[in-house]
Amino acid sequence: MADADPGLERVFAEAGHFPTELRVLRVILRASHLTEEFKWRAPVYTYDSATDATICD
């Protein structure tokens, strides 16, 4: 996978609630066929240009 957006890295590094769980969820989502993007100041996972999941802390 290409280098992640610095905004994405910041969201996960500064997670206030459930930081361990969010990192585990990220590993699972990144292992899927979804594309990880940084939109609306949050991690967004898309497939075929359609938003499938957004992680909010």
For residue 38, give Cα distances in angstroms to 34, 41, 42, 51: 13, 6, 6, 12
Q: Who's near 25: CB < 8 A, 6+ residues apart?
A: 55
The pLDDT profile of the chain, 57 residues, written as one tens digit per residue, is: 556 788 888 888 888 888 899 889 989 998 998 999 988 888 999 998 887 878 776
Residue-level pLDDT at 31: 93
pTM: 0.76
Strands 50-54 and 35-39: unpaired
